[in-house]
């Protein structure tokens, strides 16, 4: 990875609709964080994320099962593309694949999950599947978790969580909308903390300054 610079370089990884990519673009456009998006890597060439990133004029690369059918070649291409950008931070923005974490990525790769981990996390729990599970359980509380990425789904050390109080009988669509509003605040705030050096990964823990 590249040395830390005043204006941080970001690589965003996206698989879905691209709302988080748009949110970061808007936050950065308002000058709220001293960073810029160097590249958006998309796993699905038919995703809204690719279309939105291209419409915003952001550099994009597609690395997924269609472009790289062989898993090892796909992983190598992903790591090489990230390294080429020398990012200060790798932000998973609705990335639906397990990101390899080589030594030089440790402590610089961050993910956001649409629930309050450890609840409703792990393989298979992403996007609407999470919100459907919360709705089915009749829970009145959900939220989002931003955490350092690790070699397991949704198991890295937590950095920040924001809870959302749900209305009675809220369905998965209502929950998704409410949780995403929390995500729009929590993810940029987490990046702010990282840029300020107020939190870092040490071993398997998030350590606060």
Q: Which domains does the chain have, with CATH numbers?
A: 1-106 (3.40.50.170), 112-190 (3.40.50.170)
Q: 14 and 95 in contact (C-beta within 8 Å)? A: yes
* Nearest Cα to Cα of residue 32 among 209, 184, 144: 184
* Average pLDDT estimate for 185-201: 97
Q: Which two tokens stand for residue 35?
A: 């960073």
* Average pLDDT estimate for 157-166: 96
Q: How far is CA 150 from the centre of its chain?
A: 12
* Three-state DSSP class for residue 11: strand
Mean pLDDT of the chain: 92
Q: 85 and 147 in contact (C-beta within 8 Å)? A: no
pLDDT of residue 136: 85
Assess whether pLDDT exceeds 90 at residue 103. yes
pLDDT of residue 138: 83
* Average pLDDT estimate for 169-194: 95
Q: 132 and 172 in contact (C-beta within 8 Å)? A: yes
Q: Which two tokens stand for residue 13?
A: 């990884």
């Amino acid at each position: 990875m590249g040395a830390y610079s005043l204006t941080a370089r970001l690589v965003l990884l996206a698989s879905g609709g691209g709302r988080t990519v748009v949110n970061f673009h808007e936050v950065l456009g308002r000058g709220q964080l001293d960073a810029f998006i160097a590249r958006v890597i998309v796993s699905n060439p038919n995703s809204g994320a690719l279309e939105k990133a291209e419409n915003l004029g952001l550099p994009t690369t597609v690395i997924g099962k269609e472009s790289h059918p062989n898993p090892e070649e796909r992983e190598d291409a992903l790591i090489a593309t990230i390294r080429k950008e020398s990012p200060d931070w790798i932000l998973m923005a609705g990335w639906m694949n397990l990101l390899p974490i080589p030594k030089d990525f440790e402590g610089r790769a961050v993910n956001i999950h649409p629930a309050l981990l450890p609840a409703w996390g792990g393989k298979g729990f992403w996007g609407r599947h999470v919100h459907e599970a919360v709705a089915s359980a009749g829970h009145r509380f959900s939220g989002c978790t931003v955490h350092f990425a690790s070699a397991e789904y949704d198991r890295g050390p937590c950095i920040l969580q924001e809870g959302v109080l749900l209305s009675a009988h809220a369905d998965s669509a209502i929950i998704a909308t409410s949780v995403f509003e929390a995500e729009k605040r929590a993810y940029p705030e987490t990046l702010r903390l990282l840029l300020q050096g107020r939190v870092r990964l040490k071993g398997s823990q998030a350590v606060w300054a």
